Structure 1
Amino acid sequence: MSDLNALFTQMQNNFDSGAAAGLDAVFQYQITDGEPYYVAVADGECNVAQGEHDDPSVTLHMDADTLAEVMSGETDGMQAFMMGRIKADGDIMLATRLASVFPVA
């Protein structure tokens, strides 16, 4: 299994504040074989924390390997969603912005 902390640190490092302009959202990650994490984006800033947010904008359900593949660019997030490897609850349209806000290095 992937090191979730390293994956979310990489996500924070890849954060594109320009692409996130005007975005105020909380992305909750429910990792089926690991700990939950959330990524809060507001005012061009990105904060990552382990745990569950009280009021996420969108919740993404996936396993750690799927997250690692999407983060590395090996798998396209939208394709993984269409294949049922990622499930989403809440504002699903927000999830479509993840690729531009957190581009693959």
Structure 2
Amino acid sequence: MTEFSPESLSAIGPKEFAQLVKSTPDSKISEIMASDARDKILDEVFNRMPTLFRAEKAGDTQAVIHWIITGPNGVSNTYETVIENGACTVTKEPVREPKLAMTMDAVTFLKVVAGDGNPMMLFMTGKIKAKGDLALAASIAKLFDIPKA
């Protein structure tokens, strides 16, 4: 199995990524996401979002979503996903008012995008905090082709 690193993520597809997240202990993911590799890994994941977007499922959805990924020492990364006109764009510099803002730690985020965690259960147990349109939060998973490990 590939080692969890920015280099390996850029070389594997979504299904392999899902398997990698599922097979890597949370403690190891947490350690890596507290290192200098954090930004590269998050960038890699967010850069893939538009390619995994399912426009046919989005219909006329118009939304700005802020993903706040918390980290060690109070550091966090915020990414903005804009869904409009049947397309999805992502930026590291949020500029628009979000319809939904979700806050979670890096391990939880990677589990969600790898299909290795139930977003609703993670929300119910407080691992994901959502502010804004909760109906949108409940439907985000259907808007993306999330791999199954």
Q: Which TM class, normalised by the smaller chain length?
A: over 0.9
Aligned to 1:9: 47
Deviations along 1:29-65, one digit per CA (max 9) or x if unpaired, are 1111231001000010000000223310000001111
Q: Could you state the TM-score of these two structures normalised by the residue count of structure 2?
A: 0.66
Q: Aligned residues: percent identity? A: 32
Runs (5+) with no aligned partner, structure 2:
1-32
Greater alpha carbon shift after TM alignment, 29-38 vs 79-88: 29-38
Q: Distance in 1 between matches of 2:95 and 2:118?
A: 25
Aligned to 2:66: 28
- Flag the structure with higher helix content: 2
User: Relative contact order, CA 8 A, sep 6+: which one is greater?
Assistant: 1
Q: Residue 130 of structure 2: SS of its match in structure 1?
A: strand
Q: Distance in 2 between matches of 1:42 and 1:23?
A: 6
Report deviation, 1:102.
Answer: 1.3
After the TM superposition, which parts of structure 1 deviate over 3 Å for at least 4 consecutive aligned residues?
none
Aligned to 1:18: 56
Length, aligned pairs only: 105
RMSD: 1.2
Aligned to 2:103: 61
Runs (5+) with no aligned partner, structure 1:
none
Q: Distance in 2 between matches of 1:54 and 1:43?
A: 16
Q: Could you state the TM-score of these two structures normalised by the residue count of structure 1?
A: 0.92
- Flag the structure with higher strand content: 1
